[in-house]
Amino acid sequence: MIDMSGLYGHEDYPVALTKFNNSNKIRKWSEFKDVHLKITNHKCPICECSLKSDELLTRNSGAASENKFTTITATVDHYRPQALYMFLALVADNYILMCSECNNIYKGCEFPLFSNPTVRATTVAEIANEQPLIVNPIIDDLLDLFIVVARQMTSGRKVLELKPKHTQGYLYEKAVATIQLFNLGECDVVCHNNTNVKNLRINLLHSHFVKFESFIDAYINKDRDKMLSEITEKNLRTYGFFKFFVKKQFINLSLG
């Protein structure tokens, strides 16, 4: 997951905000897309798939015989969904970049809250009282929510996933709910019921493992030179995962 806390301080943000505020377009949220993509190194902040136009993922979207494919693209949508928070429909800081898979297939109109009984905000002022169970990479401290895990699935394939950092309380519940909602942990067990969607997520988390595999070996063996060469060669600093390694928030369960 990618920390987007630099968004509002980015030099392009005020320009995007002005364009957004002055726009009469129905799709005026699109004014934010470029600056969000700059902050995430052109990746989805949630699943870290590439959103570069020449690296977009695709998956089957029909029966195998149909040859229908969906391309996973960059979307800017509401963090708090319009269906539940109409008053935030046009509020700039309620917008967030995600890939179309995380946004439309996984998140949709879900917005679970920690508070029990659930009382949803009905005004902007009441928002501060809510404890959402879906992470917001723009405002949340991701390093206080997650650790990274390299894991071998029962199939033998290895994946890079997330686990909650805490063992109880709000931050724990938030991490668990987010990981489950987006299928970012135990991805072969807690998975989407559509096989094509499930396979795309597993393949993505496997590709993240492959990207980090040699780095993880060097990390475990404390081979500093190899770590540095892997960071440079594989562009690992562009991944949200990287910050967790720096903070030693990593567990290796990939040895089978």
Q: What is the largest CA-CA distance in the chain?
A: 56
Residue 84 CB, shortest distance to Zn ion, in Å, is 21
Q: Specify the residue for token string 């668990």.
A: 176
- Residues facing 113 on adjacent strands: 132
Comparing C-alpha atoms, which of 42, 26, 22, 17 is closest to residue 93?
17
Residue 106 CB, shortest distance to Zn ion, in Å, is 8
Interface segment toward Zn ion; rule CB under 5 A; list 7-15, 38-46, 204-212, 221-229: 38-46
Q: How far is CA 248 from CA 48, 141, 252, in A?
A: 20, 16, 11
Binders of Zn ion in range 155-194 (CB under 5 A): none
Number of chain residues interacting with Zn ion (CB under 5 A): 5
**SS3 at position 69:** strand
- 99 near Zn ion (CB under 5 A): yes
Smaller CB separation from Zn ion, 45 or 227 = 45
- 134 near Zn ion (CB under 5 A): no
- 2 near Zn ion (CB under 5 A): no
According to CB under 5 A, which one of 37, 46, 175, 227 is a site residue for Zn ion?
46
Structure tokens at 46: 């949630």
Smaller CB separation from Zn ion, 99 or 150 = 99
Backbone angles phi, psi at 145, to 5 degrees: -115, -40
Q: How far is CA 32 from CA 19, 23, 25, in A?
A: 9, 12, 13
Residue 117 CB, shortest distance to Zn ion, in Å, is 31
Mark 56-95 with x for binding to Zn ion (rule: CB under 5 A) and - for no binding. Answer: ----------------------------------------
Q: Give the C-alpha separation, 138 to 79, whole Å.
A: 10
Comparing C-alpha atoms, which of 247, 255, 243, 213 is closest to residue 230?
213
Residue 61 CB, shortest distance to Zn ion, in Å, is 16
Q: Give the C-alpha separation, 243 to 236, whole Å.
A: 10
204 touches 57 (CB < 8 A): yes
Smaller CB separation from Zn ion, 47 or 227 = 47
172 touches 164 (CB < 8 A): yes
Residue 24 CB, shortest distance to Zn ion, in Å, is 30
Binders of Zn ion in range 100-119 (CB under 5 A): 102
Smaller CB separation from Zn ion, 74 or 127 = 74
Smaller CB separation from Zn ion, 44 or 76 = 44
According to CB under 5 A, which one of 47, 113, 145, 147 is a site residue for Zn ion?
47
Q: Give the C-alpha separation, 134 to 2, whole Å.
A: 14
Structure tokens at 34: 């470029």
Residues near Zn ion (CB under 5 A): 44, 46-47, 99, 102
